């Protein structure tokens, strides 16, 4: 979530109104294409359809429309930017990536009825103070600060009205829009990704389930002083409102200028947590948005937030990943291939060239795991090399497979944690950290 105090817009609630918003976005894009086409012709240039579509102005229109809609329309853009970003046009990826933390907020006229529905008439009796200006806003809901009569500060996550009922239609309509304007490669099969997006969004929109995840995770890291997790206030929580203790801290990405030892420590701590999640807990908070982490300088602790995307994985799947990590750490291409087939990355329909290209991608992605000593994320261009290889796989091999459904979320967490380390320019001996788990 991110601070969007100055951007206010009512959330469209009915299916028709949300469809009209998407229709308006399509009209905006088409109008932008026409205007750009006339500009190109007036300069004596022959317009190229792809260039007309992916202009900065059209990109801004797309981001603005999805930001106003919120909900699944915004979330599916976020997911595509992370899971298919390597093979989408770069301009579209840039737009979609902006949606990770860019939402409008509800006006008072919409917020107050939501609070009345959640807590009944006279809901104000629960609080000494309630701030109507949200601390943060995102695709599913926004967060407000409140204080109880006992002096306890709470962060209260309030779901946008109508969001839960619009998930399936939003996802389908956004996918249709992307196909209509040919923003997705014809070879990209996103059916399973969209089905996963719907299921995940329904889970994230159930705040009672998130409260359960939050409580479980709080217990899992109770023995780790480097982390602190909010405590749920069950008396004020339900399926559409989640009340929890308010924990303050600096946005973690602002530590990019902190002393090297601080940045290295944070990177090491976050990677250690990732490996514990995968190989010890079997429970992974799969949304690595930077806004979900705060840093408390006084106590040198990291605040962990937002557990709507928490997933549990069976031992069999974790064992398969342990085998894959071990093979990648040893540059064992045969072992990598075997593990990839077990997990489902490879199948009998892959050509030899596609198989080799996919193995190359995995081998490259595990470069930090193979590195002897502290891997310098700040001095690495690994992300760019992976993007280039992914694009090459899509274009030259003529096929891109969306990974098996449950692994998409592991990828998101792994890639996001590596990206955080890169943002902090952290140096971490990952090979050493992983030894106990492999």
- pLDDT one-digit tens code per residue, 283-308: 999 988 888 999 999 999 999 999 98
Same domain? 182 vs 303: no
* Residue 274: inside a domain: yes
Average pLDDT over residues 323-336: 93
Whole-number pLDDT of residue 394? 59
Whole-number pLDDT of residue 69? 53
Same domain? 200 vs 319: no
Which comes out higher in pLDDT, residue 147 or 29? 147
Which comes out higher in pLDDT, residue 415 or 54? 415
Same domain? 270 vs 184: no
* Residue 380: inside a domain: yes
Q: Which of 204, 233, 262 is the last residue of a domain?
A: 204
Instruction: For 147-180, give the DSSP string.
Output: EETTS-EEEEEEEPTTHHHHHHHHHHHHHHHHHH
- Give how many domains the chain has, as a whole number: 2
Same domain? 193 vs 289: no
* Residue 379: inside a domain: yes
The boundaries of the domain holding residue 28 are 15-105+162-204
* Residue 236: inside a domain: no
Which comes out higher in pLDDT, residue 243 or 388? 243
* Residue 149: inside a domain: no
Same domain? 260 vs 337: yes
- Catalytic positions, please? 287
H/E element holding 228? strand 227-228
| pLDDT of 326 over the 80 cut | yes
Same domain? 281 vs 423: yes
| Nearest alpha-carbon partner for 177 in 104, 69, 266 | 69
Same domain? 184 vs 276: no
Same domain? 169 vs 267: no
Same domain? 255 vs 332: yes
* Residue 8: inside a domain: no
Same domain? 195 vs 254: no
β pairing state of 301-304 and 227-228:
parallel
Same domain? 331 vs 432: yes
Whole-number pLDDT of residue 194? 75
Distance (Å, rounded) from C-alpha 239 to C-alpha 207?
5
Hey, how many other C-beta atoms are within 10 angstroms of the C-beta on 310?
A: 22
When the pLDDT of each residue in the chain is averaged and rounded to a whole number, the result is 79
* Residue 346: inside a domain: yes
* Residue 23: inside a domain: yes
Same domain? 196 vs 331: no
327 SS3 class: helix
């Amino acid at each position: 979530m991110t601070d969007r105090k100055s951007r206010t817009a009512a959330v469209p609630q009915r299916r028709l109104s949300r469809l009209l918003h998407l229709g308006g976005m399509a009209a905006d894009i088409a109008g932008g294409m026409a205007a750009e086409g006339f500009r190109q012709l007036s300069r004596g240039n022959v317009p190229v359809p792809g260039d007309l579509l992916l202009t900065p102005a059209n990109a801004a229109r797309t981001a603005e429309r999805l930001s106003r809609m919120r909900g699944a329309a915004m979330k599916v853009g976020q997911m595509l930017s992370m899971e298919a970003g390597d093979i989408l046009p770069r301009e579209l990826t840039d737009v979609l990536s902006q949606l990770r933390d860019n939402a409008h907020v509800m006006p008072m006229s919409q917020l107050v009825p939501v609070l009345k529905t959640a807590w009944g008439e006279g809901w104000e009796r629960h609080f000494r103070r309630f701030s109507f200006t949200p601390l943060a806003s995102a695709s599913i809901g926004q967060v407000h600060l409140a204080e109880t009569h006992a002096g306890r500060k709470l962060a209260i996550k309030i779901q946008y009205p109508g969001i839960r009922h619009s998930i399936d239609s939003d996802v389908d309509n956004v996918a249709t829009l992307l196909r209509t304007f040919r923003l997705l490669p014809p070879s990209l099969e996103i059916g399973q990704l969209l089905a996963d997006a719907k299921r995940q969004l329904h889970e994230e929109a159930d705040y009672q389930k998130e409260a359960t995840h939050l409580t479980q995770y709080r217990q899992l890291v109770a023995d780790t002083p480097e982390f602190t997790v909010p405590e749920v206030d069950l008396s004020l929580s339900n399926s559409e409102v989640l009340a929890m203790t308010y924990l303050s801290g600096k946005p973690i990405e602002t530590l990019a200028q902190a002393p090297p030892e601080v940045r290295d420590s944070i990177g090491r701590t976050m990677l250690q947590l990732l490996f514990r999640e995968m190989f010890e807990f079997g429970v992974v908070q799969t949304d690595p948005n930077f806004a979900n982490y705060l840093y408390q300088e006084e106590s040198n602790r990291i605040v962990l937030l937002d557990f709507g995307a928490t997933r549990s994985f069976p031992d069999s799947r974790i064992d398969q990943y342990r085998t894959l990590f071990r093979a990648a750490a040893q540059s064992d291409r045969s072992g990598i291939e075997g593990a990839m087939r077990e997990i489902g990355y490879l199948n009998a329909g892959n050509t030899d060239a596609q198989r080799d290209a996919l193995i190359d991608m995995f081998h490259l992605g595990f470069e930090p795991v193979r590195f002897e000593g502290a891997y310098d994320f700040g001095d690495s261009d690994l992300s760019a090399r992976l993007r280039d290889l992914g694009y090459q796989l899509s274009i030259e091999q003529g096929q891109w497979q969306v990974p098996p459904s449950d692994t998409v979320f592991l990828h998101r967490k792994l890639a996001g944690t590596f990206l955080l380390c890169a943002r902090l320019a952290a140096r971490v001996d990952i090979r050493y950290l992983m030894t106990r788990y492999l």
